Amino acid sequence: MTPVARFARVSEAQYRKDCEGFDRALPLEEIPLPRRATAGSAGYDLVCPVEVTLAPGEMRVIPSGLRILMEPGWVFILCPRSSMGRKYRMRLANTVGIVDSDYAQADNEGHMLTSIVNGGSAPFTLHPGDRFCQGILLPHGVAEEEEVTAQRTGGYGSTGK
């Protein structure tokens, strides 16, 4: 397969800013870059770099410390790992996360943030280093009548304004 993307860490300053409010976080340099578990795996596992306990119904935005640099025409789709949904009823607040190919140029350095929700009836805790979501690289197309020339400026959730 031909590589169409690469993972990198955000700056220490961006990571610290987005980790405010968490008592415990991995040092940025200890966050592993996403990897596939097997040669046939589609998903790249992301680890939770912070410790967070979610009460039933609670939502938190989890920083990853990471960004992805993709070729145009590709998108990185974030989903919860199936084991997290099965064990804890964890889900993404927006069902799936969409990381656009130009997100790496965002004001927040393209820092991938994930909104998770505890959909279960008991609290659960994510510990630093726990694999909690996965991302899949997919090609995407555009409609023939589309002509978009705007350039990205904002970060997380900025295209929804």
Query: Is the residue at 103 inside a domain?
Result: yes
CA distances from residue 133 to 105, 141, 148 in whole angstroms, order as listed: 23, 25, 31
Predicted TM-score (pTM) of the model is: 0.88
Query: Is the residue at 72 inside a domain?
Result: yes
User: How many domains does the structure of the chain reveal?
Assistant: 1
Extract the tokens encoding 38: 């097997």
CA distance 73 to 104: 14
The residue behind tokens 């929700």 is: 117
Q: Which of 31, 34, 133 is nearest to 79 (CA)?
A: 133
Query: Is the residue at 132 inside a domain?
Result: yes
What do you get for the CA distance between the two ends of the chain, in Å?
A: 36
Per-residue pLDDT tens digits for 110-135? 999 999 999 999 999 999 999 999 99
> What CATH number did the domain enclosing 24 receive?
2.70.40.10
- Give the structural domain span for 37: 5-141
Q: Are 51 and 24 in contact (CB under 8 A)?
A: yes
Per-residue pLDDT tens digits for 61-100? 999 999 999 999 999 999 999 888 888 899 999 889 999 9
Query: Is the residue at 12 inside a domain?
Result: yes
The C-alpha angle 74, 96, 140, rounded to 5 degrees, equals 20
Query: Is the residue at 76 inside a domain?
Result: yes
Query: Is the residue at 158 inside a domain?
Result: no
**Which band of pLDDT confidence, cut at 50, 70 and 90, is reported for residue 152?**
low
